[in-house]
C-alpha cells in the first residue's frame, strides 16, 4: 500500500480543503494554496530544452480560480483537480499533495479566523 495516498479528502468550506493520511497526518489548506501548487504546464511553465518557460496566462486572476469544481482520482497515483474558472489540467500526484499540505497547513486559529470572517460577511449581506 502506498502510504502517501490520502485516506480522506474533503472540502469543509468552499475555500478550504482537508486531507487525512493513514499515518495520522491531517492538514487543512486553502484552495488558493492548492491552486498555486498546480503542476500543469500552463501554471508552472513548460520545460523546453531544459529551460522552464513561463506562459503569460499564469499570473492573471480569473473569477472562480480558487473554487473547486471537482476532484477525480487518476489511476492510483494522483488526483485531477477541476476549478470553477474551467481549469482542469492539473494532475496532483500523492507526493505533491502531501508536501503541499505540509507546507501550507493552516493553524486552528487561522481556520477559525476564516470561518469567523465568512460568518461576518454573511451577516453584512
Ligand atoms: Zn494548472
Q: How many domains is the chain partitioned into structurally?
A: 1
Could you tell me if residue 101 is inside a domain? yes
Could you tell me if residue 1 is inside a domain? no
Could you tell me if residue 88 is inside a domain? yes
Q: Are 92 and 105 in contact (CB under 8 A)?
A: no
Could you tell me if residue 72 is inside a domain? yes
pTM over 0.75: yes
The CATH number that applies at residue 37 is 3.30.2020.30
Range of the domain at 85: 6-124
C-alpha to C-alpha distances, 3 to 6, 33, 104, 113, nearest whole angstrom: 8, 23, 20, 32
Q: How confident is the model at residue 93 (pLDDT cuts 50, 70, 90)?
A: very high
Q: How confident is the model at residue 30 (pLDDT cuts 50, 70, 90)?
A: very high
For residue 35, the CA-to-ligand 1 centroid distance in Å is 7
For residue 22, the CA-to-ligand 1 centroid distance in Å is 27
Mean pLDDT, all residues of the chain: 90
Could you tell me if residue 85 is inside a domain? yes
For residue 73, the CA-to-ligand 1 centroid distance in Å is 16
Beta strands of the chain (E only): which ranges?
6-10, 16-21, 26-30, 46-48, 51-53, 68-74, 78-83, 90-93
pLDDT at 47 over 80: no
pLDDT at 4 over 80: yes
Q: How confident is the model at residue 41 (pLDDT cuts 50, 70, 90)?
A: confident
Closest among 76, 79, 62 to 9, alpha carbons compared: 79
Q: What is the pLDDT of residue 61?
A: 80
Amino acid at each position: 500500500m502506498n502510504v502517501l495516498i490520502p485516506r480522506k479528502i474533503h472540502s469543509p468550506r468552499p475555500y478550504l480543503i482537508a486531507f487525512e493520511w493513514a499515518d495520522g497526518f491531517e492538514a487543512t489548506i486553502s484552495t488558493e494554496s492548492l491552486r498555486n501548487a498546480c503542476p500543469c504546464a500552463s501554471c508552472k511553465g513548460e520545460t523546453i530544452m531544459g529551460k522552464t518557460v513561463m506562459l503569460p496566462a499564469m499570473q492573471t486572476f480569473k473569477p472562480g480560480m480558487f473554487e473547486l469544481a471537482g476532484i477525480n482520482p487518476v489511476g492510483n497515483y494522483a488526483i485531477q483537480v477541476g476549478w470553477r474558472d474551467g481549469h482542469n489540467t492539473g494532475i496532483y500526484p500523492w507526493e505533491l499533495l502531501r508536501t503541499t499540505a505540509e507546507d501550507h497547513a493552516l493553524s486552528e486559529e487561522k481556520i477559525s479566523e476564516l470561518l469567523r470572517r465568512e460568518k461576518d460577511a454573511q451577516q453584512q449581506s
